[in-house]
Chain A
Amino acid sequence: MSIVLSNISKNFGDFSALHDIDLEIPEGELVALLGPSGCGKTTLLRIIAGLEQTDKGQILLNGEDKTQHHVSQRGIGFVFQHYALFRHMTVFDNVAFGMRVKDKKVRPSESEIAKKTHALLELVQLDWLHNRFPDQLSGGQRQRIALARALAVEPSVLLLDEPFGALDASVRKDLRQWLRNLHHELNVTSIFVTHDQEEAMEVASQVVVLNKGRIEQQGSPADIYDYPANAFVSKFIGQTNEFQLSHFSTDWFDKVGLSISKEVTKDSIAHVRPHDIEITKTTNDTPVTLKDWQHLGALIRIELTKNLPSGKSKAVFAEMPNEQFKRLQLSRGDKVDLKIRHAHWFH
């Protein structure tokens, strides 16, 4: 089911949590809602679900205006950040709940409910836990049960609030992959909240970047990474080095290969991804020194210091494959030359 939000705003007292949000999500997408803490992700999700009322604007699901519909009438599955499993019910009863509270007329028989519940538990690979209570499960298991419970009512939209937020790194990685596969299988329009940009890039087909209650950019992960719409998105998605024109000499920009176009002013800032910086060993008198490096698996993260004309120094980060770095045979304190392959200018 497609989701269209138009002009959604939400205030809590004087505080504006969401500001004129316009968003279109086509059917079947898996969208990541990405943004720093407190930017309004949960609030937006709760408004779509109907757990919170919007102050103005409209929510259309499949073209139908659902703004005034009660939560229970929206057909939206919601997976809460802390799972919100019913603590006094077994895993089985948790998952069956949504089917059991249906109106008598449309409620499946108890045997159908049991069959479907077991099928869902198998889908999340946890049928063997059906007799347990939530407090007897691990975090990752609770997460999957919460998902199975939400899927039991065959929602047309699935909303997940930081689905992996409370889990440790290795479980997160597994579950990400698993969620993507599950989405492939079910093809339910889904939005998940995260403040981990790596997670968003890895799992989602579309990424929406939110900041201070406004949408900064929406697009495919590649678009957002390669063409950030503004300095905030550029900084938030992946690492960047910032070079403000006024802090460096124009000569230096020429030397490292950064072309300065007409729009560039004194306050313009060039954002450069670490992997867009190339380094070569030199004996020339350059202002850049190799300070240290760390292994990040296949990549090496290199820490450089650049002396500024003002007398201060600036840290610059570069990344390159392990092998390539070894071939350079660099040691700490060596002078290096920089080449910048690509930069985004923000004015």
Chain B
Amino acid sequence: MSAAISRTVHQSTLDDANWVRWSLITIALGFIILFLCVPLALVIIQAFAKGFDAYLSALSQPDMQAAMRLTLLTALITVPLNTVFGVAAAWAITRFEFRGKNLLITLIDLPFSVSPVISGLIFVLLFGTQGWMGEWFLEHDIKVIFAVPGIVLATLFITFPFVARQLIPLMQEMGSEEEEAALSLGSSGWRMFFLITLPNIKWALLYGVLLCNARAMGEFGAVSVVSGHIRSLTNTLPLHVEVSYNEYDSVSAFAGASILAGLAVVTLILKTFLEWKQKNERATASL
């Protein structure tokens, strides 16, 4: 965040009058403090409102623990799957010519353009007891909606653009000459991928994985629709925060929120690091 601000300052010294500069900076900073820093601080204050012990005991409640476990489980399943999917999609789009390519590119972005609630509803329509495939699942005694599989599916859907979105522009820019060179030197396709492609895309890939993970752990809307809010069973951490808050258990709610906020901060730091790494790499590549 601070990097972005200092860059603006340098650019605007070129021509803007001083007062324009300072008022813009003040507005931007004010906004950030009011809408980002204050709420974050409030979360922490509320979480510790009844002391450190209350905070710890809120975190160690079985419901809270179950919510954290479910959130981790969801991320553990969806992030690797979407990493593989993202790489495959980016590969197909940047390395092959085929009919329907533009449609695929558009479809990859679909989860970004549809409201998460709608995404959740789609899964209810598909797999719910009244849904299209509901009967089949009912007969085979498989519960998707209001159960863990539904949560995983919804998260999978919501987070699938992240990795592909990071890789497609990079792989387009890189071109396939190095890969072709590797093949012409006798390398197999797999070796080419692990020895040539992967080292070149690793930072962008990690960046995509990071964003994918942050969203997988933080997703609320779609998961809320399919979860059914069953305590200890189908509540992810964001859902547990909401449930606790609605039940006036504010320490629990804010303790959970503080974990999510901490996750966000860690993500932000890693994200900055990865951005810096990518920029460095591109700078040397373009020499």
Contact = CB atoms under 8 A, between A and B. Distances in A.
Contacts of A71: 180, 183-184
B181 A101 contact: no
B184 A51 contact: yes
Interface in B198-245: 199-200
Given A80-B180, A135-B284, A98 B186 contact: yes
A149 interface: yes
Contacts of B285: 87, 135
A51 B180 contact: yes
A40 interface: no
Interface in B166-206: 177-178, 180-188, 191, 195-196, 199-200
A293 interface: no
A49 B182 CA distance: 13
Contacts of B181: 78, 80, 84-86, 149
Interface of A is mostly: loop
A72 interface: yes
Interface in A72-94: 72-74, 76-78, 80, 82, 84-88
A74 B186 CA distance: 8
B202 to A, nearest CB: 9
Interface residues of B, number: 19
Nearest to A51: B180
Contact of B182 (A76, A77, A97): A97
A98 B184 CA distance: 9
A78 B185 CA distance: 8
B185 A87 contact: no
A135 B262 CA distance: 39
Report which residue of B180, B199, B287 has the largest number of chain A beta carbons within 10 angstroms of its beta carbon: B180
Given A135-B284, A135-B285, A84 B177 contact: yes
Given A82-B177, A84-B178, A87-B178, A77 B184 contact: yes
A192 to B, nearest CB: 15
Interface string B256-287: 00000000000000000000000000001101
Contacts, number: 68
Nearest to B200: A88
Contact of B287 (A73, A135, A153): A135
Nearest to A46: B180
A133 B185 CA distance: 19
A261 to B, nearest CB: 51
A39 B285 CA distance: 30
A150 interface: yes
Contact of A72 (B187, B196, B199, B284): B187
Report which residue of A50, A51, A133 has the largest number of chain B beta carbons within 10 angstroms of its beta carbon: A51
Contacts of A88: 199-200
B186 A49 contact: no
Contacts of A332: none
B173 to A, nearest CB: 13
Given A51-B180, A87-B200, A101 B287 contact: no
A187 B174 CA distance: 34
B177 A72 contact: no
Contacts of A173: none
Contacts of B188: 72, 101
B152 to A, nearest CB: 35
Contact of B186 (A84, A133, A153): A153
A102 interface: yes
Given A88-B199, A101-B185, 12 more contacts: A50-B184, A51-B183, A82-B177, A84-B177, A84-B181, A86-B178, A87-B178, A97-B187, A98-B186, A101-B186, A101-B188, A149-B181
16 contacts: A51-B184, A71-B184, A72-B183, A72-B188, A73-B186, A78-B180, A80-B177, A82-B177, A84-B181, A85-B178, A85-B181, A86-B182, A97-B187, A97-B195, A150-B184, A153-B186
